[in-house]
């Protein structure tokens, strides 16, 4: 292994494709905006049955609902602004955290995605209660 890249654990793979076990992902999004601004946009988003966003794809501009893929969404204060905890269900169309940020930006009128730090914390099977599990378990 290259220096600085250490093996922490080795597990035996279960049968089947790893990609088939990746049903959801949990993200932490750090934003410079206050939790009041972000929190009100999150409350609005959660109150909607559908939230349409648009994204440019290889086949042109595509409009789709990103609300259905959001399992949980919460805002909390952070050192220099706010932090969002987001759990997404993988599916078709594939909804990305920046799609959710785009919808929140439209609601607040603030460009939330411009200085956002997106960190994927977990990716794996998604339980009925919205918890992302270990894909190798």
| Mean pLDDT within 27-54 | 93
Beta-bridge mates of residue 118: 29
Determine, yes or no, domain membership for 78: yes
Taking phi over 0 as left and psi of -120 to 50 as alpha, with beta for the rest, 105 belongs to alpha
Instruction: Give the range of the structural domain holding residue 56, as residue numbers without chain letter.
Output: 22-124
More confident residue, 19 or 95: 95
CB atoms closer than 10 angstroms to residue 23: 17
The predicted pLDDT at position 13 comes to 77
Look up tokens 């992902």; give the residue: 25
Determine, yes or no, domain membership for 134: no
Determine, yes or no, domain membership for 136: no
Q: What is the CATH number of the domain that holds 57?
A: 3.30.70
The predicted pLDDT at position 101 comes to 93
How high does pLDDT run on average in the chain?
A: 90
Determine, yes or no, domain membership for 17: no
* Per-residue pLDDT reduced to its tens digit, 85-116: 999 999 888 899 999 999 998 877 777 777 89
DSSP per-residue codes, 102-123? HHHHHHHSS-TTTT-EEEEEEE
Determine, yes or no, domain membership for 3: no
Determine, yes or no, domain membership for 14: no
Determine, yes or no, domain membership for 16: no
For residue 136, name the pLDDT band (cuts at 50, 70, 90). Answer: confident
The number of distinct structural domains making up the chain is 1
pLDDT over 90 (residue 68): yes
Six token digits for residue 80: 């220099």
More confident residue, 15 or 90: 90
For residue 119, name the pLDDT band (cuts at 50, 70, 90). Answer: very high
Q: Which residues contact 50 (CB under 8 A, 6 or more apart)?
A: 65, 67, 68
């Amino acid at each position: 292994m290259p220096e600085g890249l250490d093996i922490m654990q080795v597990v035996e793979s279960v049968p089947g494709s790893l990609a088939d076990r990746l049903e959801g992902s949990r993200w932490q999004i750090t934003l410079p905006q206050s939790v009041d601004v972000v929190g009100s946009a999150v409350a609005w988003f959660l109150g909607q049955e559908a939230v349409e966003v648009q994204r440019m794809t290889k086949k042109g501009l595509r409009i789709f609902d990103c609300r259905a893929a959001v399992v949980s969404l919460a805002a909390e204060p952070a050192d220099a602004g706010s932090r969002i905890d987001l759990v997404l269900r993988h599916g078709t169309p594939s909804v990305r955290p920046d799609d959710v940020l785009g919808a929140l930006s439209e609601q607040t009128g603030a460009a939330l995605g411009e200085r956002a730090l997106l960190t994927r914390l977990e990716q794996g099977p998604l339980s009925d209660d919205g918890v992302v599990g270990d894909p190798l378990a």
